[in-house]
């Protein structure tokens, strides 16, 4: 068995994968969303804290609830996407550590930390999980349209009221219409972005 992914697979998740804003009339059903999560959850997080929580916004009612929180430029693409994932993070992730890190009392390492430290710890690890989520979605044939152009407080009030979960970013999901893409923007070269010391 080969120990590296094929060039075609690397094209699928990296080289040819684009951020989509226009969507084909093709569903992204619940079973597929579950498969995406079940791959994404395997990516590493600090002390296996797994702070990411996701609400998949699919129904017309839920889309309407999301709409007032969106920046103007993100409304149309989000309302037309088959599904929009609210990638959230549980700032009190430590409550699940007895389950997730059973071989040590990891809850004790975090539970008394200041709220801002808990929040940036959840943000770091939840953002990593959000990236695993997008790679998993692409690997399973979905296209992604990530967005941070929205009012987090409004999304939290509409979807996470009464919980310790906060929104991180949104990600439209479906099958993108490649004919509507603009040319790919450049990326930094290895020499520009990296050093080996």
Q: Does 16 bind ligand FMN (CB under 6 A)?
A: no
Cβ distance to ligand FMN smaller for residue 73 or 98: 73
Q: Does 124 bind ligand FMN (CB under 6 A)?
A: no
CA 11, CA 143: separation in Å to the nearest integer? 13
Q: Does 149 bind ligand FMN (CB under 6 A)?
A: yes
The closest residue (CB) to ligand FMN is: 149
Stretch that binds ligand FMN, among 23-31, 142-150, 158-166, 188-196 (CB under 6 A): 142-150
CA 183, CA 31: separation in Å to the nearest integer? 32
Count CB neighbours of 130 within 10 A.
23
Cβ distance to ligand FMN smaller for residue 141 or 149: 149
Q: What is the DSSP string of 101-133?
A: STTTTHHHHHTTS-HHHHHHHHHHHHHHHHHHH
Cβ distance to ligand FMN smaller for residue 74 or 129: 74
Q: Does 102 bind ligand FMN (CB under 6 A)?
A: no
Cβ distance to ligand FMN smaller for residue 16 or 26: 16
Q: Does 180 bind ligand FMN (CB under 6 A)?
A: no
The tokens describing 122, both together, are 């959840």
Q: Does 65 bind ligand FMN (CB under 6 A)?
A: no
CA 64, CA 1: separation in Å to the nearest integer? 48
Task: Return the percent helix, strand and coil in the chain, to nearest 5.
Answer: 50, 15, 35
């Amino acid at each position: 068995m080969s120990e590296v992914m094929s060039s075609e697979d690397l094209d699928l998740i990296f080289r040819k994968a684009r951020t989509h804003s226009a969507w084909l009339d093709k569903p992204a059903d619940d079973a597929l969303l579950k498969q995406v999560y079940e791959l994404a959850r395997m990516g590493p997080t600090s002390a296996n804290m797994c702070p990411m929580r996701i609400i998949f916004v699919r129904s017309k009612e839920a889309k309407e609830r999301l709409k007032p929180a969106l920046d103007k430029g993100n409304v149309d693409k989000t309302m037309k996407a088959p599904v929009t994932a609210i990638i959230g993070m549980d700032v009190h992730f430590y409550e699940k550590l007895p389950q997730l890190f059973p071989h040590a009392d990891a809850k004790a390492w975090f539970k008394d930390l200041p709220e801002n430290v808990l929040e940036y710890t959840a943000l770091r690890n939840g953002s990593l999980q959000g990236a695993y989520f997008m790679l998993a979605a692409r690997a399973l044939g979905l296209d992604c349209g990530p967005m941070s152009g929205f009012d987090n407080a409004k999304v939290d009030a509409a979807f996470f009221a009464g919980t310790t979960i906060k929104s991180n970013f949104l990600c439209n999901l479906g099958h993108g219409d490649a004919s509507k893409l603009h040319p790919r923007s450049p990326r930094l070269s290895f020499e520009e972005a990296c050093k080996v010391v």
